Structure 1
Amino acid sequence: MLEIDDSTDERYWASVERVVALAEDRGRAADGIPLLASVAVTHPEWPVRAGAVRLLARHHAGDPAADTAVAAATHDTVDWVAFTALKVIAEHRIAAAVPDLIRISGWPSNFTRPDWTRKPVGCGAALTKRALIAVFGTRDPAELRRLEDEYFSDMRARIEAARKRPRRNTDVVLVPGGPAIIGAEEKPDAFRMAQDDSTLRAVDVPAFLIDRTTVTNARYHAFLDEVGDSGEFDHPDQPLERSHRPAHWHDPRFNAPDLPVVGIDWYDAYAFAKWAGGSLPSEVQWEKAARGVDGRRYPWGEEWDPDRVNYVERSFGEEVADLDSLEALLVTVSQGGNPAHPVLPADALPQGASPYGALQMSGNVWELTRTNYYTGDDMDPFFKGRHPLDFMNRKEAFHVLRGGTWTSPRSCLTTFYRGKDLITDRHNEVGFRCVYEVSD
């Protein structure tokens, strides 16, 4: 494409016209749709983007790829590009744009009602309303509702089917509804692992089911075999062009079928949980499943018992007394070497079970949750297309880890200790388990 000359207003608009004319010449044929679609999205000058939108509709309206590109232009950050898209959608009655129009204005059946209260209408709202009426071919509220329901029936059926997806695991335990003791009043110990959640409190937790063990490589393999790279269960914010294959899939120390899957990040765990018919646990759900209702310090009780847990001394075979000795031991870790057997099978050490029968909620691998470390709310990431360096200092990018792992000292293995991790990190120390709704 030609460069834009912005030395004067006249030259700017003249060069815009030349670029748009060139785009029309190259994009008029059917095989020119990708070119016009790219210009409509990526060209740095908004008049050129708007021109490409007009050309897509003029020459290719009705082609799915062209209609999709026009619909996407309704969300352009420059109003005149979005307005152009809205106008050509109305002119050509581009039905593929309905979901995008709905995102802008809400359900179309309401704004034609004379008694409907609305915010002040600007150009965008007026053009969106006009486009929706043009696509559906009526202003009657009842008819718009009927057509709207008909248009979205397949989408709603898919959403409902996904919401009611059957649970893919029978090896679960029930955590009954009722109160739980959460948090602790804890001071740093010799490892200087401070407990930041110092508010000891009681909260009511509805009943739920939770995996008895962390997700194993065998279960995760079944997920990969079925889903592949389809993206069907991916979080909308998942990084582009990546698979769910674990980072340590070919490391013999971590890839045996009965070991917890590791080398996955939060997006991987999210997709697996959705595929499995559940979700990642909230921090509170995880703590109740590990702790029960009596506020115990470890899943098995109040007293420390190293025989019930896989932690740094068991995995490395050496004792540690303080932070300095812990760090001196951890720096001996090596790829394919030390320690030789860092993790245990997911169903090992049954004597360390929680009050409800969940295994290894202390040690072996940290467990991902859906809770943001800083806010306590569910994670709601918005980092798609960005490098982790761009958000590694953003509070929105850190989820809570629970339970400690094979490199952890005793102070990280309590039922209330909170760890955190960046949403895109993939460690050999981190796994997860899922929670599920209790069926009626």
Structure 2
Amino acid sequence: MSACCGPRTEGGAVAERTRNSPALPFTPPERSRADVVRGMVRIPGGAFRMGGDDPDAFPDDGEGPIRTVTLSPFLFDATTVTNRQFATFVKATGYETDAERFGWSFVFHLLVGPEQRPHLMDAVVPGAPWWRAISGATWRTPEGPGTSNAHRPQHPVVHVSWHDAAAYAAWAGKRLPTEAEWERAARGGLDQARFAWGDELIPKNRWRCNIWQGGVPAHNSEEDGYLGTAPVKSYPPNGYGLYEVAGNVWEWCADRWSATWHADECPETRIDPPGPPDGDEHVVRGGSFLCHDSYCNRYRVAARTHNTPDSSASNTGFRCVADVDS
């Protein structure tokens, strides 16, 4: 992932950990269908035009070519997974996130207060000095020791790796979305619109997403209402009834990363595409509260990037999908 979007965890104990998804440390419970689908939206199957040719795109991201992809119908979480939902999962399973096991995670510098500065580590993100490695930063303590998510139950859970997101999805009787499912849902029924709501970033001078305003990275005017994450359902939903598919937090997808695999016109890349068969990193979509058109405009609906599956930061979360009963 471009360092400005989100840092990656590298070195030390992390480098020794397998990049493959580890075995679940719990047995997923039996769930009723009503329990699984609660809070989900049905996304219609069919063909849509995926990808983009935006002149502002990053060439190495492989947003194009624009191609017709056909998907089966599926169910998509209306919101990203919240702190409250993730806490229920942890209470039921005793699950420990990668950040908790490693003992640290990355926090955006304007979110780091004086009490957290003694917990600063030496890790430096090249090209993005605004990221701070904080000992003790986890989903429970989002800015580090002395902070808490207790007053943010409806904010998206952050400091979750791909491994953590996949574990939650399995516990919930769901799965992570494929990249094609994510884009189909995020488009909300619009064909090749630049954003999830249309082609204008601020229609009628009303913010539709939580991204950066002001001088990056020193000052955020908070015109959209937030410095960091916003509670889910803070902005109007897209055409399918999905909230914050642009900005707020990056969202993990099931797919392994490739900038070229989808350019192949074989059926595997065009009909319910599962993503590349191998690769050390996973796709993330949607942008975050740190995105700004001066350095990271990846809140555009076709935008994409990637990160290692054990990485975590204060701007990365996820949502889940489920199959439609036949």
Alignment CA distance shift 1:206-1:361 (3 Å): same
Deviations 1:236-288 (A, max 9, x none): xx999679x98141235855101000001001000000111110000000000
Residue 312 (str. 1) matches residue 212 (str. 2):
yes
Residue 268 (str. 1) matches residue 154 (str. 2):
no
CA apart distance, 1:341 = 3.8
Larger Rg: 1
Instruction: Give the aligned residue type for 2:47.
Output: P
Find the residue that maps to 1:307 and give its secondary structure: coil
CA apart distance, 1:349 = 0.5
Write out aligned runs for 1:17-96 (5 A): none
Q: Contact conserved, 1:210 with 1:434, CA < 8 A, in 2?
A: yes
- Whole-Å separation in 2 of the counterparts to 1:427 and 1:239: 9
Alignment equivalent of 1:349, drawn from 231, 235, 249: 235
Alignment CA distance shift 1:253-1:187 (3 Å): farther
Between structures 1 and 2, the one with greater strand share:
2
Deviations 1:363-384 (A, max 9, x none): 000110001111565587xxxx
Residue 198 (str. 1) matches residue 82 (str. 2):
no
- Whole-Å separation in 2 of the counterparts to 1:261 and 1:179: 32
Q: Which residue of 2 aligns with 1:330?
A: 217
Residue 224 (str. 1) matches residue 90 (str. 2):
yes
Identical counterparts, % of pairs: 28
CA apart distance, 1:213 = 0.4
Deviations 1:297-342 (A, max 9, x none): 21111222161110011xxxx2x5xxxxxxxx22679xxxxx9841
CA apart distance, 1:167 = 4.4
Instruction: Give the aligned residue type for 1:177.
Output: G
Deviations 1:390-430 (A, max 9, x none): xxxxx822111101000012421111000111111111111
- Whole-Å separation in 2 of the counterparts to 1:226 and 1:419: 32
Instruction: Give the aligned residue type for 2:196.
Output: P
User: Aligned Cα RMSD in Å?
Assistant: 3.4
- Whole-Å separation in 2 of the counterparts to 1:266 and 1:209: 20
Alignment CA distance shift 1:347-1:378 (3 Å): same
Q: Contact conserved, 2:211 with 2:289, CA < 8 A, in 1?
A: yes
- Whole-Å separation in 1 of the counterparts to 2:280 and 2:201: 33
Q: Which residue of 2 aligns with 1:415?
A: 301
Instruction: Give the aligned residue type for 1:308.
Output: R
Q: Which residue of 2 aligns with 1:373?
A: 257
Q: Which residue of 1 aligns with 2:192?
A: 295
Alignment CA distance shift 1:413-1:194 (3 Å): farther
Alignment equivalent of 1:398, drawn from 281, 285, 290: 281
- Whole-Å separation in 1 of the counterparts to 2:44 and 2:161: 29
Q: Contact conserved, 1:246 with 1:262, CA < 8 A, in 2?
A: no
Alignment CA distance shift 1:216-1:379 (3 Å): farther
* TM-score of the pair, normalised by structure 2: 0.64
Find the residue that maps to 2:207 and give its secondary structure: helix
Alignment CA distance shift 1:396-1:332 (3 Å): farther
Give the number of equivalent residue pairs. Answer: 239
Q: Which residue of 1 aligns with 2:154?
A: 258
Write out aligned runs for 1:132-171 (5 A): 167-168=35-36, 170-171=38-39
CA apart distance, 1:196 = 2.2
- Whole-Å separation in 2 of the counterparts to 1:412 and 1:193: 12
Find the residue that maps to 1:330 and give its secondary structure: coil
Q: Which residue of 2 aligns with 1:434?
A: 320
Q: Which residue of 2 aligns with 1:361?
A: 245
- Whole-Å separation in 1 of the counterparts to 2:46 and 2:153: 35
After the TM superposition, which segments of 4 or more aligned residues of structure 1 sit over 6 Å from their partners? 161-166, 238-243
The structure, 1 or 2, with the larger RCO (C-alpha pairs under 8 Å, 6+ apart) is: 2
What are structure 2's unaligned runs of at least 5 residues? 1-26, 104-135, 263-273
Alignment CA distance shift 1:330-1:241 (3 Å): closer
- Whole-Å separation in 1 of the counterparts to 2:102 and 2:35: 26
Alignment equivalent of 2:76, drawn from 195, 198, 210: 210
- Whole-Å separation in 2 of the counterparts to 1:271 and 1:308: 30
- Whole-Å separation in 1 of the counterparts to 2:282 and 2:174: 18
Find the residue that maps to 1:371 and give its secondary structure: strand
Find the residue that maps to 2:279 and give its secondary structure: helix
- Whole-Å separation in 1 of the counterparts to 2:51 and 2:319: 21
Q: Contact conserved, 1:187 with 1:195, CA < 8 A, in 2?
A: no
Instruction: Give the aligned residue type for 2:283.
Output: V
* TM-score of the pair, normalised by structure 1: 0.49
Instruction: Give the aligned residue type for 1:202.
Output: T
- Whole-Å separation in 1 of the counterparts to 2:100 and 2:275: 22
Find the residue that maps to 1:362 and give its secondary structure: coil
Alignment equivalent of 2:174, drawn from 258, 261, 278: 278
- Whole-Å separation in 2 of the counterparts to 1:180 and 1:301: 16
